[in-house]
Amino acid sequence: MPPRKRRASRARAENDGARDGDDARATRAVRAPYGVERRTIALSRGDGDGDGDGDGDGVACVDGACVARCVDGAVTVGGYALAASRATAEEVVVRSAAGMASATTCAARGGGGATLEFRAVRGGGAYAVCGAREARALGWTPTMVSRDWAHALTRVREAATRTREAFAAAFVGPKGVGKSTLARHAANVILRERGVCGWLDLDCGQPELTAPGMVSLTILRAPLLGPPQTHQASGAEFEGAPSAPLYASFVGDVSPQGDPDAYVEGALACVDAWAALGEDKPALVVNASGWVKGLGLELAEEILRAVGRSTESCYVININSHVASRNVPDDVYWFHDANVPETSNPRVTTYEVAAGFGTAPKGADAETEETSVETYENIANDASPGGTKSKDTKRSPSDSRALSWLAWSRQTVAMCNERPHEGALELDDLGENEAFAATAFDLTTATPWRVSFDDITLHVLQSDLDAREALMALNGAVVGLLKSAAPGRYCAECVGVGVVRGIDVDNRYVYILTPVSSEKLKSVTTLALGTLEFPPRLLGHAGEYPYMQVGAIANEGSGSKAIKSRNNILRQNTAPTRR
């Protein structure tokens, strides 16, 4: 069923099940139409700074892919400010996906009203726009900014307007506290003030702009208005797609733990690429890894010290979990190098903010390690007028990576079929399974690249395999596409990743699916094989998965997975005894 009809059916079904006595606003929300026509929405009042609680008429929510333009007043869209008074009518591309993440919000600014005009993106599907209360009645979770976060964003905005020097703003903290969300807003704030912003992505498990398993530096010239899967820079050229990374390194794993040295060297290469821009280097937003204990903390400190050597002003936004044991230790001095004179270190300003809405709900002392920004968004939504509970958009890291691979696959299909202006991931919650199945089928029919064994070198990361074992491991695997390493460097620049579709041993060919353009593929000399796992749902359609032997050990059952340590359980010989 096409997205437009599917969404319309969903809206009608939810409307039929609405309880009698719902107010008119909730009824309108359930009927919120998806369509491709132009539409206008008026935001009658704002809260002064564009970071409200989402309960007033000054906030609207967007689902789907569309282009927004402010025609009256002033608004903030995902941290990016738009005003009708500007000389030219600026448009921004919004790619929201309420079915898999929070819905993008548009908030009136300055205490007055505002009017926004929307249209569908070129070649895109349907989209919907409604007020915050209506959105919650639909089950969407609006992306809101707490006072804590708004204060930090204001400081970033002041830094961007106070001087034209290239400063760095690092977003640090444990996993699941909202680092990427707040960093996106900060990048949008800098883009509004300066027109360009650097993005250093150090999270190889759930990167913002690339496929998993990479660290990268990207120069942004347009705001990021949607979850990572909707604006992945893998090669396709759909409307609103960001530019390809200026520099990227292949880690080959979803965590730095596999090869910490290679991870650090790749990250430092990205920092060097930023520093090499000299006086033209933009302000830099650093999206740090969530590994902030032990070795992970040491790696982050080393990388940020390198960033600090190339700028005079640095800001640290430390996002704290409501579980104190998960947070960054208090004695960490980010960007500080003890081996140089104090006068040579940059000026560092640190802001401490809380995860999510900034205050824990009752019973916070009983929180678990899974506490995250989405948890508090949903709790806050439960208390919203109307009492409608928003859908829980929290996903496990592996589920989020699967969606990232789905986005990468859509771009791969578009590029392999020579349709570069297609490939954007447009998804609602009813179509996720269908999207995986359809994309898996498209991958099996896409035309791969044929590469001769004689033209490439196979580099196996983190293990030693002979030639026969390497070919067996390579079939159906994710590989990094690397250039030749620069002199004196351990790692090489990565132009993207690919999936090995098949191997012709007799004729010495390997067949690769990738969204990387032919011009960039000409520079590839090495295939790097790491430990990345491609989602089984994308390896075949209708349950027919190649590379999976019938009768092999399933994902469930004894011996099917590596044993994970349980450090929270006291062994019998160490457990305290009662006397």
DSSP for 158-226, please give it. Answer: HHHHH--S--EEEEE-STTSSHHHHHHHHHHHHHHHHS-EEEEE--SSS-SSS-SSEEEEEEE-S---S
The per-type count for the chain, helices as H runs and strands as E runs, is: 12, 21
- Whole-number Å distance between alpha carbons of 275 and 269: 10
**Which stretches of 17-65 are DSSP H helices?**
24-30
Q: How far is the C-alpha of 387 from the C-alpha of 64, rounded, in Å?
A: 25
This prediction's pTM: 0.83
- Closest among 417, 475, 496, 65 to 244, alpha carbons compared: 496
The phi and psi torsions of 191 (rounded to 5 degrees) equal: -60, -40
Angle between helices 397-416 and 432-445 (to 10 degrees): 40
Element (H, E) at 64: strand 59-72
Please state, in angstroms and rounded to a whole number, the distance separating the CA atoms of residues 58 and 61: 10
User: For residue 32, what pLDDT is reported?
Assistant: 52
Going by C-alpha positions, the residue among 145, 229, 240, 147 that lies closest to residue 185 is: 145
Residue with tokens 């209360």: 133
Per-residue pLDDT of the chain (579 residues; tens, 9 = 90+): 444 444 444 443 444 443 333 433 333 334 457 888 899 988 876 444 444 334 446 788 998 899 999 988 889 998 899 988 656 678 999 998 877 778 888 988 877 788 899 999 987 778 899 888 888 888 888 887 888 899 999 999 999 998 888 999 999 999 989 999 999 999 999 999 999 999 999 999 999 999 999 999 999 999 999 999 999 988 888 888 889 999 999 999 999 998 999 999 999 999 999 999 998 999 999 999 999 999 999 999 999 999 999 999 999 999 999 899 999 998 888 998 888 888 888 999 999 999 864 333 323 333 333 333 333 333 333 333 333 344 445 678 888 999 999 999 999 999 998 888 888 888 654 578 888 888 999 998 899 999 998 999 988 887 777 777 878 888 889 999 999 876 656 678 999 999 999 999 899 999 999 999 999 999 999 999 999 999 988 887 655 655 554 444 455 554 555 555 544 444 455 444 444
Question: What does the block give as tokens for 69?
Answer: 């333009």
H or E element in which residue 116 lies: strand 114-120
List for the chain the helix, strand, coil content (%; round to 5).
Answer: 30, 20, 50
Q: What is the pLDDT of residue 160?
A: 94
CA–CA distances in Å: residue 455 to residues 458, 480, 521, 526? 10, 15, 12, 9
For 434, list phi and psi in degrees, rounded to 5.
Answer: -65, -35
Helix axes 179-194, 147-162, angle to 10 degrees: 30
What is the per-residue pLDDT for 488?
59
Q: How far apart are CA 53 and CA 150, in angstroms?
A: 12
Cβ neighbours of residue 25 under 8 Å, at least 6 residues apart? 131, 133, 134, 137, 386
Q: Where are the alpha helices (DSSP H) in 311-461?
A: 373-382, 397-416, 432-445
**Nearest-angstrom CA–CA distance, 203 and 201:** 6
DSSP tag of 482: E
Q: What is residue 189's predicted lDDT score, i.e. its pLDDT? A: 96
Q: How far apart are CA 148 and CA 153, in angstroms?
A: 9
Q: In Å, what is the CA distance from 289 to each residue of 187, 301, 314, 517, 549?
A: 17, 11, 18, 29, 35
Question: What pLDDT score was predicted for residue 135?
Answer: 86
Q: What is the pLDDT of residue 117?
A: 92
